[in-house]
Amino acid sequence: MRSSLVRSFALVALWSTMQMQMTQVQGSPETAPSLKDRGVEGCSSSSPCSKCSGDCDSDAECAGSLKCFQRDNYTPVPGCSAGGGGDVKWHDYCYDT
């Protein structure tokens, strides 16, 4: 009986650790900004996009140290919440590395 409890506790601890690591890598979906689409020509070097905004074509079209995440189809953008009207297929979005 004690052995089963120890194994159960170990599994719960492992699961909890894995969840924390995934949240650190992917960002918490509850706090991640939603994707915002500014249109095909929405981002430019003279009017850079903010985090989770697009459609960018290069890092120069993203504000500050943000990078342009080039995605295929609906590939999830790191640190951003997918779905909704701002999530446009094949559009690229600025993200924080």
Say which residues have a Cβ less than 8 Å from residue 23's Cβ, sequence separation at least 6: none
Confidence of residue 31 (pLDDT cuts 50, 70, 90): confident
What dihedral angle (degrees, nearest 10) is formed by the CA atoms of 76, 82, 88, 91? -30
CA-angle at 31, arms to 63 and 20, nearest 5°? 110
Of 47 and 22, the one with more pLDDT: 47
Give CA–CA dist 23/82, Å, rounded: 15
Give CA–CA dist 2/19, Å, rounded: 26
The structural domains of the chain, with segments of one domain joined by +, span: 1-27, 32-95
Per-residue confidence (pLDDT) for residue 52, from 0 to 100:
97
What DSSP character marks residue 34? B
pTM: 0.68
